[in-house]
Amino acid sequence: MTLILGIETSCDETAAAVVENGRLIRSSVISSQIDLHARFGGVVPEVASRAHVELINSVIAEALAEADVQFGDLDAVAACQGPGLIGALLVGVSAAKALALTLDVPYVGVNHLEGHLHAAWLQDPDVALPLAVLLVSGGHTMLVAVVEDGRYQVLGQTVDDAAGEAFDKVARICGLGYPGGPAIDRLAIEGDARSIAFPRPMIYEGLNFSFSGLKTAVLNHVRRNPDGDIRDVAASFQEAVVDVLVHKLLEAADISGAATLVMGGGVAANSRLRERLTEAGAASGRTVLVPRMDLCTDNGVMIAATAWWRLRTDGPTSLAGGANPSLSLVSTR
Amino acid sequence: MSILGFDTATQRVAVGVGRGGQVLGTRSLAVERQHAEQLVPTIRDLCQESSIELSSLEVIAVGLGPGLFTGLRVGITTARTMAQALDIPVIGVSSLDLVAHPLVGIGRPVVVVANARRNEIYCARYIPTKDGMKREGDYEVLPPDVLAAELAENDDQWLVVGDGVLAHADAFANCDRFESDDDHAMYPSAAPLVAIADVRMRRQEFCDPCDVHPLYLRRSDAEIEWDRKGR
Ligand SMILES: [Zn+2]
Encode chain B (231 residues) as per-residue pLDDT tens digits: 899 999 999 999 999 999 988 999 999 999 999 999 999 999 999 999 999 999 999 999 999 999 999 999 999 999 999 999 999 999 999 999 999 999 999 999 999 999 999 999 999 999 999 989 999 999 999 999 999 999 988 767 899 999 999 999 999 998 889 988 787 889 999 999 999 999 999 999 999 999 999 999 988 877 777 777 765
A145 in the same domain as A48? no
Q: Which domain holds residue A307?
A: 3-117+295-314
| Residue A222 within a domain | yes
d(CA A252, CA A207): 7
pLDDT band at residue A333 using 50, 70 and 90 as cut-offs: low
Please state the ipTM of this predicted complex.
0.95
A224 in the same domain as A157? yes
CA A76 to chain B, closest CA, distance in angstroms equals 14
| Residue A321 within a domain | no
Lowest average pLDDT, out of A119-123, A301-305, B99-103, goes to A119-123
Closest CA to B189 of B13, B57, B43, B11: B13
| Residue A102 within a domain | yes
A275 in the same domain as A151? yes
pLDDT tens-digit series, residues A236-245:
999 999 999 9
d(CA A268, CA A289): 11
Torsion sign, CA atoms A267, A273, A279, A284: negative
| Residue A320 within a domain | no
A316: which DSSP letter?
P
- Using CB atoms, which residue from A49, A98, A99 is nearest to B73? A49
A76 in the same domain as A96? yes
Return the pLDDT at A149.
78
Cβ–Cβ gap B222/A60 under 8 Å: no
Contact list, A93 vs chain B (CB under 8 Å): 36
| Residue A333 within a domain | no
A283 in the same domain as A157? yes
Do residues A47 and A75 touch, judged by C-beta distance below 8 A? no
A174 in the same domain as A83? no
**Domains of chain B, first to last:** 2-95+187-227 (3.30.420.40), 100-185 (3.30.420.40)
What's the CATH number where A307 sits?
3.30.420.40
A110 in the same domain as A244? no
**Where are the extended beta strands (E) located within A123-267?**
131-136, 141-148, 151-157, 260-264
Best of B43, B78, B88, B231 to disrupt the A interface by mutation (most A CBs within 10 Å)?
B78
Contact list, A5 vs chain B (CB under 8 Å): none
Return the pLDDT at B230.
67
Phi and psi at B143, nearest 5°, equal -65, 145
Which residues hold their Cβ within 5 A of ligand 1, which is an ion? A 298
Do residues A79 and A93 touch, judged by C-beta distance below 8 A? yes
Domains: count for chain A: 2
The crossing angle, in degrees rounded to 10, of helices A230-256 and A271-284 is 40
A228 in the same domain as A103? no
- Assign A78 to helix, strand or coil: strand
Do residues A313 and A331 touch, judged by C-beta distance below 8 A? no
pLDDT band at residue A158 using 50, 70 and 90 as cut-offs: very high
pLDDT band at residue A332 using 50, 70 and 90 as cut-offs: low
pLDDT tens-digit series, residues A4-27:
999 999 999 999 999 999 999 999
B184: which DSSP letter?
G
Note the pTM of the prediction, 2 decimals: 0.95
A147 in the same domain as A59? no
User: Cα B217 vs. chain centroid, distance in angstroms?
Assistant: 14
A139 in the same domain as A216? yes
| Residue A327 within a domain | no
Query: Which residues 39-68 in chain B show a CB within 8 A of chain A?
Result: 39-41, 43-44, 54
Phi and psi at B193, nearest 5°, equal -65, -45
| Residue A37 within a domain | yes
Return the pLDDT at B136.
95
Return the pLDDT at A194.
95
A287 in the same domain as A186? yes
| Residue A330 within a domain | no
d(CA A295, CA A144): 17
A102 in the same domain as A76? yes
